[in-house]
Amino acid sequence: MLRRQATEGEKQAGSVVEPQSGLPSPSPRNHLLSPESHMDVQGYKWVRWRMWLCRLAAVLSLGLLLIVFHWRPRLAVLARCCSCPLALADILLIRDSFGQHHVVEVFTEEVEEGSLQLLGQLEDTEWRDTVQLYKDEKTLLRYYLFEGLRYIWLDRKGAFCRVSVLNEDWTCKDLYSFQKGLSHLEQSFRRRMYGLNLIDVPVKPYIKLLFEEVLNPFYVFQLFSITLWMIDHYFVYAICIFIISILSISISLYEIRKQSITLCNMARLVTNVTIRRNSGVEECVSSLELVPGDCLIIPQEGLLLPCDAALLAGECLVNESMLTGESVPVLKTPLPAGEGTYSSETERRHTLFCGTQLIQAKGGGPGGVGAVAVVTSTGFFTAKGNLVSSILYPQPTNFRFYQDSAKFLFMLCFVAFIGTIYSFVVLFRTNVTWLELVIRSLDIVTIAVPPALPAAITTGTIYAQHRLKRQGVFCISPPRINICGKVSLFCFDKTGTLTEEGLDVWGVMEGGPAGFSELLPEPRLLPPGPMLSGLACSHTVTLLRGQPLGDPLELKMVESTGWTLQEPEGNGKTLDAEFGGHRVLAVMRPPTQRLQAQGSSTSEAVAIVQRFPFSSALQRMSVVTVSCRGDSALAFIKGSPEMVATLCRAETIPAQFSSKLHNFSSEGLRVLALACKPLDRNTDFRTIERGEVEKDMQFLGLLMMKNLVKPESAKAINVLRMAHLRTVMVTGDNILTAVNVAKSCGMVGSDEKVIFVNATPPTAQSMATLRFSLEGGGDTAAQNSIEIVTRDLYQGGFGYHLAINGRSFAALCDHFSEYLPKVLLRATVFARMTPDQKTQLVKELQKLNYRVGMCGDGANDCGALRAADVGVSLSDAEASVASPFTSKTENISCVPLLIREGRCSLVTSFSLFRYMALYSLIQFCSILILYTIKTSMADLQFLFCDIVVVTLLAIVMGKGGPSEELHPHRPPASLLTLPVLGSLFIHICVVILGQLAALFITTSQGWYIPLNSTVYGTANLPNMENTTVFALSGFQYIIMAVVATKGYPHKKPLYHNVIFLCLLFVLFALMTWLVVYPGTFACQILKLYDISDMNFKLLLVALAALNLLTCFVVEVLIDLGILNCLRLLRGRRQSKKQYKRLNVLLSDSPSWPPLNETLYSTDHTLISLS
């Protein structure tokens, strides 16, 4: 990292400087969300003579070499530099995990002498061993910037590493050591290492944007074409195309700059913050100066946080909707001081993320107000920086349509090459000048390869994006709209997505060694005791301006007890004194008048002195409470019954625990368990560790809550299932509750069975096991009928779905990898899944070649939403960066809409691609035919065909909306298939035959006058041959627009696109007029020959009608699969999609799944995928 450069000019050497401990980058920039440093980096050094040689070559090539270097920066590096060790490199060539090459410059920065003195004072031996001070040396920092992140040189590792590598080993205990603050010198040194705390989105000036846009291959090709046309005297056409290009560039520059400014304003956050220095002084500084390790003082009224920070003292109420789309504020609590390595992902409830709004801070700052946190990440290393980076540098979309588009363009280039050779030979034999020979030959390239093709195929996506926006669905990644059309499986979160966000308390039941008490409908009916106190206290609800805020479930739970929440005011000393001097976070007070159980005593107020917030990974939360005067202390735990039971003493759990849980969960109830244990009242509860609290608990009872399925869920699921799209539920809830919801919303049919998958990891006494058991298989009647059910299952008597929980999913992945694809193929319910497991599930499904969609609320599902091919976040935010799509409609009805729009957009892109290819090939054939007979097309004839006919049709062709229904068959995504290539080939053959027929009919007429063979090209205009070929080709452009525009089943029928239909009729009428009665003016302008034979003109129109009929019949036959007979010649091939091959394999298997058999990890009796 720090390089010593000797003044005597000796060879450069370096050393690693690492701090005594470090902070990890707490942003979710992990291997699941964005590729970590799976990069191949090569070092290069400038070579002076090579640089001068390249400059000379650039001058001689008239700048062409510089354009090539701009398109391929890698070639520029290889030409100007020589390879060298990374330690000596001036330039780095980076190959990322997607195979794309990037060129970055290595920067060097001199570090002050004082910084080294600071390093010498640090206790870390590694620093002392590797930093040696020499008076005749200066110290250099070597680094580069890539996608906003800073990478620094570490000599010991012999590589450039992210600057966050300096911080990745800090423990929670180390973070607490920073509460004293940093010195000015230490902060200055760290700022040199990390750079400014700024998420800097570059807003390029118009001049630079213009330069980059003009050097786009599309516009370079346009410039080449315009130059060629100007030399060839096609002035009017060239000027029109030039004006259109200027307009296109201007609109593009405006949009790019507008988006950059919007993103810059969203990303840039500079404010004043208060930090603590090591001298104890609090200082107000700009947020730009913040570095990891700074001690941040958060005011009581909160602030918009400019960095990621770990909360060390006090509690903060935070609105994280900007990052997660979750509108409910979250209560953040102090980080436990342990020896474990700090990670923002595992410590989310103790981490304040950059860009989130801190609504309120209390109980931790000076005087008991505000809070104290330590900065853990700055700039692009923050959570917000990662999400901005994902917008600035999106992962390339691996979509077949876009890949085939590029291949098809190369095919057109090959056709152009053949045409160029043909025209060169034909023209050479006519003895034209060499200049005209070259110009005419190159002109064929501008005709065969349509430069507007890339722009044309995006119009369908643009129309779809606007339609989605009107429906309340916002998209930050337009290319993914086409991918929506190919989605084959959609995953749904349960709570808040399929079911209502809020829950209603259904009942409560106390439990103990003697069994369960009777079910009470309301917790307020409970007698005073630990169960009632636990329900009142086990939450993270807080007050904001007197109103309770928090998780909807916890709000309902507290409301059902009738207890009221009180929070400390001022420095909180009064409440602290009331509860034995303990630091009070909140007080729960029972109602003054409440329904009392006969003979029971009244409840007393309870103070919450420590909170351990709910964690999806741990499936629980806990609190520590003390009674009045601090007489006694109790710890309460609330969470999933399965998890709470594992933390309770076995003798306290009722014998009927499993059966009661099974019954309640089967009814679709959300079940929570509570437990408690007494603590020593003299313990310092501020420093008590979570692991110490959450063990040896006493089971208290169960709380049941009713979570209603949203009315739109069943309808949307039914639409998807009817369209043969798999639907999967991924939830953190109980597996029986999830199965009940799956049945309620139609994921599992009433006549379908559910089979539970139970996998256990190996222990010291047993091997890993895997077992498939039928739902309801516990009672005798079910056991007796198991053989009948099994026989029906294997003989296809009914459908079945697998259900699996997170623990079994983990064991399946680790120990039964050969069974994992088979389970994934048939599983519909995934319960008790952690956020990481949701992401892993999406990845595993993608390995089976599914196009996976994910719909969730954006909070716990953030990783899965970003990993999916199509992520939909249900959020009030207009553009939540948690996923590519955000829907303001808070139900899943947006999913069928999105898929319908995706299919419509994909079909439209297909149609436009085929049309633009057919248009260029029609014009290509016309020109070659005319070249052969020593003539050509006029300037305004080109203009009429390209602008009046083709461009107008291409613009309005994509306006047709999606079909109202989802069809069972998805549209194709590959251009290089037999139907597409076959139809193009047949249509072009019909086009050539039509143009040749028109030409031969003309030459066979008695009034035919041959053209002048002594002149060539436009000098021969007007003539009969040109007029007939132009007339028929004009009809063919319109005919192909009709043929290429596909409607059913993914788009509305053609007549719904009124503008396109009207334009077709107008253009047909216009072409008929130009053929039948053009008039003197039109003949002069377009250089047409006025043929007087009306019968011949009507024959031309009839020929065009025959062309339309032939092409239409051919297209219908191809759609019906007439070309599939050619596939029979090569034999039937297996599908390329792994899940389809596996489905065939399992359908033929007589024994899958093996019910009520225990399989071991070494048992490979099932058919393997290979």
> In a 3-state reduction of DSSP, which class is residue 772?
strand
Spatial CB neighbours of 264, under 8 Å, sequence gap ≥ 6:
201, 202, 203
Amino acid at site 74: R
Handedness of CA 263, 290, 336, 30 (dihedral sign): positive
- Measured between alpha carbons, how far is 975 from 914 in angstroms, rounded to an integer? 9
753-760 and 769-774 beta bridge pairing = antiparallel
**853, 484 contact by CB (below 8 A):** yes
N-term to C-term CA, the chain:
48
For the record, the structure tokens of 647 come out as 């933390």
- Measured between alpha carbons, how far is 408 from 390 in angstroms, rounded to an integer? 30
- Measured between alpha carbons, how far is 817 from 840 in angstroms, rounded to an integer? 14
800-805 and 753-760 beta bridge pairing = parallel
Of 305, 318, 386, 325, residue with least CA distance to 350: 318
Catalytic (active-site) positions:
493
Please, which contacts does 845-850 make with residues 24 or more away whose CB atoms are closer than 8 Å? 845/489, 845/491, 847/1138, 848/821, 848/824, 848/1137, 848/1138, 848/1139, 848/1142, 849/1136, 849/1137, 849/1138, 849/1139, 849/1140, 850/488, 850/489, 850/726, 850/1139
Of 541, 585, 577, 583, residue with least CA distance to 559: 541
330-332 and 315-319 beta bridge pairing = antiparallel
DSSP assignment of 297-344 equals EE-TT--B-SSEEEEEESEEEEE-HHHH---S-EEE-PPP--SSBP-T
Of 775, 771, 711, residue with least CA distance to 739: 775
- Measured between alpha carbons, how far is 606 from 590 in angstroms, rounded to an integer? 9
Handedness of CA 397, 844, 794, 803 (dihedral sign): negative
User: Beta partners for 544?
Assistant: 547
Amino acid at site 680: D
- Measured between alpha carbons, how far is 818 from 801 in angstroms, rounded to an integer? 19
Of 579, 539, 544, 545, residue with least CA distance to 559: 539
- Measured between alpha carbons, how far is 430 from 1015 in angstroms, rounded to an integer? 9
- Measured between alpha carbons, how far is 176 from 199 in angstroms, rounded to an integer? 27
CA 1064 to chain centre: 39
- Measured between alpha carbons, how far is 101 from 86 in angstroms, rounded to an integer? 17
DSSP state of 21: S
Write out the H or E segment, with its range, that includes residue 1118: helix 1094-1119
Amino acid at site 574: T
CA distances from 604 to 146, 529, 588 (A): 60, 10, 9
- Measured between alpha carbons, how far is 1070 from 1090 in angstroms, rounded to an integer? 16
SS3 content of the chain, % helix, strand, coil (to 5): 45, 20, 35
Question: Residue 888's CB: how many other CB atoms inside 10 A?
Answer: 14
DSSP state of 1051: B
Question: φ and ψ at 103, to 5 degrees?
Answer: -115, 125
